[in-house]
Structure 1
Amino acid sequence: MKRVVYHGIQDLRLEETDIPVPSYGEVVVKNHVTLTCGTDAKMYMRGYRYQPPHLIGHEASGVICAVGEGVEKFKVGDRVVAHNTAPCHKCYYCKKGQHSMCIDLPSNLGSYAEYQLIPKRIVEETMFLLPDDMDYKQAALLEPLACAVYGTSEVPIELGDTVVVNGCGPIGLMFIRLSYLRGARVIAVDMKENRLTLAKKMGAQEIVNISEDIDQVQEVRKLTEEERGVDIAIEATGVTAVWNMAFDMVRPGGTVLCFGGTKKDTTVTFDCTRLHYEQITVKGVFHTTPIHVHAAFELLKMNAITADDFVQNEFSIEETEQAILEHARGEVIKNCIIYP
């Protein structure tokens, strides 16, 4: 089988290896589709927390081609999508209900590959049988949507609230859609016309194009009553300057959600007077949890978002680097690798 291996910054290599054999509780999936992700792009451009070489990719769907002993929920030939993690349910954080903080939460990297081994824990908890009417691209949106579902659930969006989403990449667009579905008036902020156009389709009532020479904080505040600021400010860029701007956009008593992962060892500075006297909540949220993965799968079945909007160009596994670079440049929302 062919697979892509990350060997360092801007160093992806196509390698050949044996098709994996499942152990007890595991399955092997023949991938049909792998989607590009912002994390893949960041990993390619600036590195990641794992020491290379390691596998890359975590948004895929396909057909089970081998099943290990003890697997009861699935069989060979089933069309499935597997999330990339499943918590241990044993550590301190799992027992506190903070499953995204599990200390044994291995990321099931390796979806840029013709075949993928799915660990027992994921098979049992966060792998799903596709409905007959769900295609592989739609299913592969599971992981990013689950992250947006979790993030949205962690902020107090109420009917009629004003929410700003800074950054209209895939996750930002999903935040826009979910905020709209919760009854919020959404402001979308980005510099790419293709992203802002889709933001409108996802439900954004207002658009702030920061490719122009404007004060984006003030532009957002102008769109709120008496320029008091938004109820919820969501950051979905991974840029520290935007963390600060999101803080400046929020009203007294509002909430800032910092979701985009920043470069290692970076810091931000917030106005302590505002934080204290205006009772602003700044919340960091990472990854997702099983209950939100299940919710995301239900939303995909309902077509709350669709692959037609999120997935643009198709590539072969040999063209993985090109697919990731197009994503990184913002030319597309997502690309996909198709396996024959």
Structure 2
Amino acid sequence: MLAALLYGQEDLRLETVEDPTPAAGEVVIRVGAATTCGTDLKVWRRGGHARMLKPPTLFGHEAAGEIVAIGHDVTHWKVGDRVVANNSAPCMTCFFCKKVEYSLCQNLLFNNGTFAEYLKIPAAIVQHNLLPIPDALPDALASMTEPLACVLHGAARSNVKSGDRVVVLGDGAIGLMFVAALAFGQGEWCNQPSTVSGQPFAEVILFGGSDQRLELGKTLGAVKTFNYRQVENVPALVKELTEGWGADVVIEATGVPSVWEMAIACARPGATVNLFGGCPRDTSITVDTERLHYSELTVKGVFHNTPTYVRAALKLLASRALPFEHLITEQQPLAQLGQVFEAMKQRKVVKVAIAP
């Protein structure tokens, strides 16, 4: 089969490799669509990921398709089933899993290789995070289950209340998904009732660097958008927009250390700051300890997803309640993957659906 392999920093190659065969408990799917992700872009630019993969390796982690082969001991699935597989599964037995903190699982199994004609799904993912795709949901939308699950997990951990003013820093796909999830929360990610139809749950203010993406942010529910390149002082503007207080909740979705610091500066006393974007390894930030203490800030990192949010994400995508299809700006064949990553680097596209 044709597959993409990452060899190092911005070194992505299309090669012919052996078709995968399933071992006991595994399945193989024919990839119908694999969507690109900001994490893929970061990994491509950095040449690896401390937890998810080490080059050389098959590449890509969002995909949906059809089961074409089943290993021994696989039940409840058959050849021909349309499925979406999360890119990971918790072990269910370690210290953190026993505390139902699945994103902290010490044996978290990651699976890569979606930019290919076929993808083998490990047994743990088949058991815990392989889901049937509803008939009316296209593969390209279903493949966004994994990133949306991460966003719903992040939203649930952000202490957002109805009517809160939320600042999202970052207009990539993850930031834009946060805008939609927080502006029109469907009750999937919080312990509060679903919003009244057409009424925003939270007032979301989006900052980013692309006017085109900021317009998309408005489509997804942002009440105000700003190009940070045209703003002299982002925290000062946020305070101006909030009667001098700052945001109730701040979501950082860039993975840039200086923006982590900016996120904390945008928060009001008593706010929650979700440092969601993963920064490069061995980086650090400076925090004003007096403000952190006396303003009673809640500053947290939120990583990845859990089986609960994987299911919630697929349900939300299938409902078509939110226009996530706008995030897919192009569809391209696998042969164009190199050009797609160059376009992502130049921020010409948001998400691209790759068809093998």
TM-score grouping bracket, smaller chain normalisation: over 0.9
Supply the distance in 2 between the matched residues of 1:157 and 1:10 (Cα, whole angstroms). 37
Of 10-19 and 141-150, deviating more is 10-19
1:288 aligns with 2:291: no
Contact 2:148–2:177 at 8 Å: present in 1 too? yes
Supply the distance in 2 between the matched residues of 1:324 and 1:213 (Cα, whole angstroms). 29
Other structure's SS at 1:335 match: strand
Once the two structures are superposed, what CA deviation does each residue of 1:228-262 show, in whole Å capped at 9, x if it has no partner? Answer: 00100100000111101110110000010000010
Out of 163, 169, 175, the position equivalent to 2:166 is: 163
1:213 shift after superposition = 4.5
The letter for the 1-side match of 2:33 is V
Q: 1:92 aligns to what?
A: 95
The letter for the 1-side match of 2:275 is C
Out of 293, 298, 308, the position equivalent to 1:276 is: 293
Contact 2:153–2:309 at 8 Å: present in 1 too? yes
1:305 shift after superposition = 3.5
The letter for the 2-side match of 1:299 is L
Contact 2:91–2:109 at 8 Å: present in 1 too? no
1:73 aligns with 2:76: yes
Query: Structure 1 segments of 4 or more deviating over 3 A?
Result: 304-307
The letter for the 1-side match of 2:222 is A
Q: 2:224 aligns to what?
A: 206
Supply the distance in 2 between the matched residues of 1:88 and 1:287 (Cα, whole angstroms). 15
Out of 236, 253, 260, the position equivalent to 1:218 is: 236
Q: 2:194 aligns to what?
A: none
The letter for the 2-side match of 1:328 is K
Q: 2:179 aligns to what?
A: 176
What's the RMSD between the two structures over aligned residues? 1.1
Q: 2:23 aligns to what?
A: 23
Out of 336, 339, 350, the position equivalent to 1:319 is: 336
Contact 2:11–2:47 at 8 Å: present in 1 too? no
Other structure's SS at 2:29 match: strand
Supply the distance in 2 between the matched residues of 1:165 and 1:316 (Cα, whole angstroms). 32
Q: 1:64 aligns to what?
A: 67
The letter for the 1-side match of 2:351 is K
Supply the distance in 1 between the matched residues of 2:322 and 2:81 (Cα, whole angstroms). 24
Q: 1:243 aligns to what?
A: 260
1:11 shift after superposition = 0.9
TM-score where L is the length of structure 2:
0.93
1:306 shift after superposition = 3.9
Other structure's SS at 2:14 match: strand
1:45 shift after superposition = 1.1
Q: 1:187 aligns to what?
A: 205
1:3 aligns with 2:6: no
Supply the distance in 1 between the matched residues of 2:309 and 2:342 (Cα, whole angstroms). 29
Contact 1:324–1:335 at 8 Å: present in 2 too? no
Alignment size in residue pairs: 338
Once the two structures are superposed, what CA deviation does each residue of 1:22-75 show, in whole Å capped at 9, x if it has no partner? Answer: 111111000011111111111111222243111210011111111112222211
Contact 1:164–1:230 at 8 Å: present in 2 too? yes
Q: 1:113 aligns to what?
A: 116
Q: 2:188 aligns to what?
A: none
TM-score where L is the length of structure 1:
0.97
Other structure's SS at 1:313 match: strand
Of 175-184 and 143-152, deviating more is 175-184
Contact 1:38–1:328 at 8 Å: present in 2 too? no
Of 191-200 and 309-318, deviating more is 309-318
Once the two structures are superposed, what CA deviation does each residue of 1:208-244 show, in whole Å capped at 9, x if it has no partner? Answer: 22121421111122111x2100100100000111101
Of 41-50 and 246-255, deviating more is 41-50
Supply the distance in 2 between the matched residues of 1:307 and 1:322 (Cα, whole angstroms). 23
Structure 1: segments with no counterpart, 5+ residues = none
Supply the distance in 2 between the matched residues of 1:304 and 1:126 (Cα, whole angstroms). 23
1:303 shift after superposition = 1.4
